[in-house]
Amino acid sequence: MNETVLVTGGTGFVGSWCVAQLLERGYRVRTTVRDLAAEGRVRAVMSGAGDSATAADWPDRLEVVAADLGADDGWAQAAGGVDVVLHVASPMAATRQEDEVVRPAVDGVVRVLRAARDGGARRVVYTSSCGAVYYGHPAQEEPFDETSWTDVSGGAMSAYVKSKALAERAAWDFVAAEGAGLELTTVNPTGIFGPALDPGQISSLGLVKRLLDGSPPACPNLWFGVVDVRDVADLHLRAMTDPRAANERFIASGGPPVSMRDIAQVLKERLGADARRVPTRRLPDWVVRVAGRFDDEVHDLVPLLGQRRSASSAKAERLLGWSARPWADAVTASAESLLRPVGSTVAAR
């Protein structure tokens, strides 16, 4: 593999798996961090991600550079001379102030696309979300697909969901108007679970951690599409190499939505004593609504109560030969990495 791939957000949950899988497959990788003080952390995580037989030359093929989505500084250096960009980094915060996440997400993706174009990259694979696919619409029985777009004026939704929808729109608009031949592919995952390479990476694993801690003491009426982080990273690599992926969207989902009680039950069945605090009772919706008045994270969940949104990965399966692990395996791997954070040898399958 003679190509160099830039991965934005190398310390993140998805970004670190993309870096590891790229290194395992022989690519040269450049990854961004907001502060070079994090370089040691990135290298330490990668040193524990591969086995000794395949990872001996990883340090020589890994470069860490500083660049922040909120500023222009560093992006020309980061994207200069790379063949492909995996834009994984995105602002993520529970907040009622939409501009705190919407503006940085929109400005950040345009900043990365401009740097990729100017640096000569042939393709950008952008980590969007099903948050850009199936919100703001009436309930429907059939799964949403890549032709669907979130309607940000279609009802209550979190600032994060709006940021993903508006940022992906901005990405496609930029490429159409100013891309100068730059190819764009988006990956739109449902809820991302699975093992964390870095114990400090909580992200969506926070839900599993709360269940393991027994907080809350009962399960809200929440439903999630689940996909394993390793499969999300694998789809990024397929999307960056397959000619048929150019200028396409791909949903990544492990199947129909499952409830928080379903997740809790799997943890109970598979983890034994480690899941002794995991609740399986149902938490009344009114309790969540009251808690949401005081807690921004809970506030973001209120519009999701009882909502079951399904998305189909048939396109990724058909065009790219992609497949997903069973959702229960992804959830179990999340819990095991939180309970015993000892690193994980990279495996695409």
Task: State the Cα angle at 145 between 141 and 151, rounded to 5°.
Answer: 85
Q: Helices 102-119 and 159-178: crossing angle, nearest 10°?
A: 30
Q: Which two tokens stand for residue 184?
A: 């764009």
DSSP codes joined into one string, 184-244: EEEEEESEEES--SSTT--TTHHHHHHHHHT-SSSB-S-EE-EEEHHHHHHHHHHHHH-GG
228: nearest Cα among 109, 298, 330, 97: 330
Asked if 111 and 91 count as a contact pair (C-beta separation under 8 A), the reply is: no
222: nearest Cα among 263, 268, 276: 263
Give the active site residue among 164, 209, 268, 315: 164
Alpha carbon distance 289, 34 (integer Å): 35
- Annotation says 315 is catalytic: no
Residues annotated catalytic, as ranges: 164
